[in-house]
C-alpha cells in the first residue's frame, strides 16, 4: 500500500497533480527514577502516523495532512499557497514561523525530542495567512494567525509573528546560519467562557514523562493575556560536524500578574560516515539526510538544554543533557537512540524536585 501511495498522480495537462506521503514513528522509553517525585514508567507507542496529499491545482500549491496515530484524526498542514517569484503566500493551517528547531521536520531532527525552547515557545500549527521569501542568502517570513487550530478550537485569541535570517555561507558542508524571530499573541479569556486555560507545562523527561511536567505558567482567571515572544538562533556546518544553538523567551501579562519563560540549548552532531548535514537556505532550516553508502549513515548527537519559568510565587527550572546515536539505514528509514539526564528544580525553595534519566528510542519510516 505504501509503495502505491508513494507514486505521484498527475493530470494529463499537468494543471492538477497529487503526491501522497507519510511517516511512521514508533517510540520507546525506559526511565531511571530517583527517590523524589512520582516515578515515570517504561512505555512504547506509535507516536506519529501521518498521511498527506500535496500537489498543484491550476497554479496553486496545496497540502492536506493528518495525524492518525491517536484516538481520532488530527489535522496538521491544511493549506493553499501561491508563489510570486521568490515570495510565497500561504492561507489555511500551517506551522508558524518560529525557531530553527521547530522549522525542521520531526523526520530530520537529530534527537528524539525537540528542544524545550521549541516545545514551549513555537506556535506550531495554527490557522492564518503567511508570507515567506528569500533572496541571496536572506530568508524572511511573517504571518497573522488565530490561536485556534482546526482541532483545538477552545484556545481563543489572535497573533502575529515573523522570522528572518541570513546565511552568508550556504554551500554543502560549509554553512553559517543566523536568525531571529518575534511574535505577539493575545489570549481571550483563558479559563473562562469556554476558553482553555493558558498553561506552559513541558514534559522535561520526554514524550512519555507525564509525571515530570514542569508547570511554568498558569493563567486561568479569565482575564485576557498578552504574550510577547522572541528567539535568537545560530548554526554552522563544517564537513560532518554541525553546531546549533538558540535562546528565547516569552513575557506573559494579564494586567494583574506577569510571568516569564526563558529557554536555550546548544547542540552538536557529527556524521561519522562522510555525509554533511543538509541545509535549505531558502527556508533557513535543516532538511533530510541521504546516506552516501549502502550500509547507511551514522550520526552522534549531544545537547544541553535549560528552561526556567517565573510566575509569583513560583520559580521553577529544568536542566538536561542528551547524548545519542542515529543510524540512517536509507534516506527514508532511521533508527534513533538517546540517553537524557534531566533535573527539575524549585528555585524559590532552593531544592531539587527530582532527577530522572530516560533512554529513548525511535524506529522511523517516511515516504
Question: pLDDT tens digit string along 130-179?
Answer: 999 999 999 999 999 999 999 999 999 999 999 999 999 999 999 999 99
Question: pLDDT tens digit string along 309-330?
Answer: 999 999 999 999 999 999 999 9
Whole-prediction pTM: 0.93
In this structure, the chain runs to a length of 367
Angle at 311 between CA 305 and CA 314, to 5 degrees: 80
Pair 115, 180: CB distance under 8 Å: no
Q: Which of 91, 77, 161 is nearest to 125 (CA)?
A: 77
pLDDT value at 5 more than 70: no
Q: What pLDDT sits at residue 71? A: 85
- Long-range contacts of the stretch 234-237 (C-beta < 8 A, 24+): 234/177, 234/178, 234/179, 235/100, 235/175, 235/176, 235/177, 235/279, 235/286, 236/175, 236/176, 236/177, 237/173, 237/174, 237/175, 237/276, 237/277, 237/279
Q: What pLDDT sits at residue 2? A: 37
Q: What pLDDT sits at residue 9? A: 56
Q: Which domain holds residue 326?
A: 2-366
Q: What is the average pLDDT across 63-68?
A: 97
Mean pLDDT for the chain overall: 95
Question: pLDDT tens digit string along 186-201?
Answer: 999 999 999 999 999 9
- pLDDT band at 8; cut points 50, 70, 90: low
Q: Across the chain, which distance is largest between two alpha carbons, in Å? A: 69
Q: How many domains does the chain have?
A: 1
Assign residue 320 the CATH number of its domain.
2.40.160.10
Pair 196, 189: CB distance under 8 Å: no
CA 282 → CA 52, 89, 285, 347, distances in Å?
23, 15, 8, 41
- pLDDT band at 14; cut points 50, 70, 90: confident
Q: What pLDDT sits at residue 30? A: 98
Q: What pLDDT sits at residue 13? A: 64
Using CB atoms within 10 Å of the CB of residue 251, give its burial: 0 to 12 exposed, 13 to 18 middle, 19+ buried. middle
Q: What pLDDT sits at residue 70? A: 83
Amino acid at each position: 500500500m505504501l509503495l502505491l501511495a508513494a507514486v505521484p498522480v498527475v493530470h494529463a495537462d499537468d494543471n492538477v497533480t497529487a503526491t501522497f506521503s507519510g511517516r511512521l514513528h514508533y517510540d520507546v522509553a525506559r526511565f531511571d527514577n530517583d527517590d523524589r517525585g512520582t516515578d515515570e514508567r517504561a512505555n512504547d507507542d506509535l507516536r506519529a502516523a501521518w498521511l498527506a496529499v500535496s500537489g498543484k491545482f491550476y497554479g496553486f500549491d496545496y497540502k492536506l495532512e493528518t495525524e492518525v496515530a491517536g484516538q481520532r484524526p488530527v489535522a496538521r498542514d491544511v493549506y493553499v499557497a501561491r508563489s510570486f517569484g521568490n515570495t510565497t503566500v500561504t492561507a489555511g493551517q500551517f506551522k508558524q514561523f518560529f525557531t530553527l528547531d521547530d522549522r525542521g521536520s520531526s523526520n530530520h531532527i537529530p534527537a528524539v525530542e525537540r528542544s524545550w525552547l521549541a516545545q514551549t515557545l513555537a506556535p506550531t500549527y495554527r490557522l492564518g495567512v503567511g508570507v515567506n521569501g528569500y533572496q541571496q542568502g536572506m530568508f524572511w517570513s511573517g504571518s497573522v494567525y488565530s490561536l485556534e487550530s482546526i482541532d483545538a478550537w477552545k484556545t481563543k485569541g489572535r497573533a502575529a509573528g515573523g522570522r528572518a535570517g541570513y546565511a552568508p555561507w550556504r554551500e554543502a558542508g560549509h554553512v553559517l546560519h543566523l536568525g531571529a524571530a518575534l511574535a505577539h499573541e493575545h489570549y481571550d479569556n483563558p479559563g473562562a467562557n469556554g476558553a482553555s486555560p493558558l498553561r506552559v507545562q513541558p514534559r522535561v523527561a520526554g514524550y512519555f514523562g507525564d509525571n515530570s511536567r514542569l508547570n511554568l505558567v498558569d493563567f486561568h482567571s479569565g482575564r485576557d493575556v498578552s504574550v510577547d515572544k522572541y528567539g535568537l538562533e545560530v548554526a554552522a556546518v563544517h564537513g560532518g560536524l554541525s553546531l546549533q544553538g538558540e535562546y528565547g523567551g516569552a513575557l506573559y501579562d494579564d494586567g494583574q500578574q506577569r510571568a516569564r519563560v526563558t529557554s536555550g540549548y546548544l547542540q552538536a552532531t557529527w556524521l561519522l560516515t562522510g555525509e554533511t548535514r543538509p541545509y535549505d537556505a531558502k527556508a533557513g532550516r535543516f532538511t533530510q539526510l541521504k546516506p552516501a553508502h549502502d550500509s547507511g549513515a551514522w550520526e552522534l548527537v549531544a545537547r544541553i538544554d535549560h528552561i526556567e519559568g517565573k510566575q509569583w510565587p513560583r520559580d521553577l527550572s529544568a536542566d538536561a543533557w542528551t547524548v545519542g546515536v542515529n543510524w540512517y539505514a536509507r534516506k527514508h528509514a532511521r533508527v534513533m537512540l538517546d540517553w537524557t539526564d534531566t533535573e527539575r528544580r524549585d528555585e524559590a525553595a532552593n531544592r531539587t524536585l527530582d532527577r530522572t534519566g530516560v533512554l529513548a528510542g525511535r524506529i522511523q519510516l517516511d515516504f
